Amino acid sequence: MKKSLLIALLCLSAFFTSQAQHFTNGLGIALIHDETKYSKDNPYIALAYTPGFTFKENSKYSFSINAPVRIGYAQYYYTQTYGSVTVSDDWKSYLFQVPLMFNFNYGAGSSQKARGRIGFFGGAGIAAQYRTYDEVYIDTYNSVHIIKNSSEFSTNVAINAGIRFAIGRSYRRRNLELGTALLVGVTGETHDLFNYHVLFNF
């Protein structure tokens, strides 16, 4: 079932690519937050790159396929010393996300034909995610020294939405995007992740 859904989405993407009217790029930063032990208080700081293409364009709206790639890093460090006793916990994690989103776009940023200075978008799709974890825990009082290394591949369903503001004289091509996304785990890590991003689209 999952393979059939993925194949169907890839076929749809290939079809829409053949109908593409122009390609887009977005570059910026993102914060990625979930409810796991450490990252709930220490969100991932991520580089954000979103390539895509639009189709069915007119002066007001368009549809698009986008792949908002995120490469993130998070860290937690705690240390406490009581005389000759030291307790420390050093946790690090890397994250790589590749969603495939089908979006409806309106107003600014929807296409090169759009005349508005403000626009919005919203859509849904699927995502693949890979995370690595490294942790070193030391408790000299109890003579504990633990080193943990793990990784996890996950698939998710995703929704996203945001607002765009046209920039400069060539405003039909360039805009500032503020957006958010929710990824719900299906396989692998099944908890929810919240993404917040700022992009410059060109």
What's the confidence (pLDDT) of residue 191? 83
Task: State percent of the chain over pLDDT 90.
Answer: 60
- Sign of CA pseudo-dihedral 49, 53, 59, 61: negative
Rg for the chain, CA atoms, rounded: 21
Of 2 and 44, the one with more pLDDT: 44
Report helix, strand or coil for 70.
strand
What's the confidence (pLDDT) of residue 113? 80
Q: What is the pTM of this model?
A: 0.82
- Spatial distance between the Cα atoms of 100 and 56, rounded to a whole number of angstroms: 18
- The predicted-structure confidence for 127-139, as pLDDT tens digits, reads as follows 999 999 999 999 9
Span of 12-16, 66-70, 131-135, 163-167 with lowest mean pLDDT:
12-16
Instruction: Specify the residue for token string 């895509």.
Output: 52
Q: Cβ distance 160 to 120 under 8 Å?
A: no
With cut-offs at 50, 70 and 90, classify the pLDDT of residue 170: low
- The predicted-structure confidence for 86-119, as pLDDT tens digits, reads as follows 999 999 999 999 999 999 999 999 988 888 899 9
- Spatial distance between the Cα atoms of 159 and 16, rounded to a whole number of angstroms: 19
Question: CATH class for domain 2-78+95-131+157-201?
Answer: mainly beta
With cut-offs at 50, 70 and 90, classify the pLDDT of residue 14: low
Q: Which of 112, 142, 15, 123 is nearest to 63 (CA)?
A: 123
- Spatial distance between the Cα atoms of 143 and 148, rounded to a whole number of angstroms: 16
Which whole number is the average pLDDT over 13-32? 78
What's the confidence (pLDDT) of residue 4? 59
Mean pLDDT of the residues in the chain: 88
What's the confidence (pLDDT) of residue 11? 63
Q: Cβ distance 119 to 102 under 8 Å?
A: no
Q: By CB neighbour count within 10 A (0-12 exposed, 13-18 middle, 19+ buried), where does 35 fall?
A: exposed
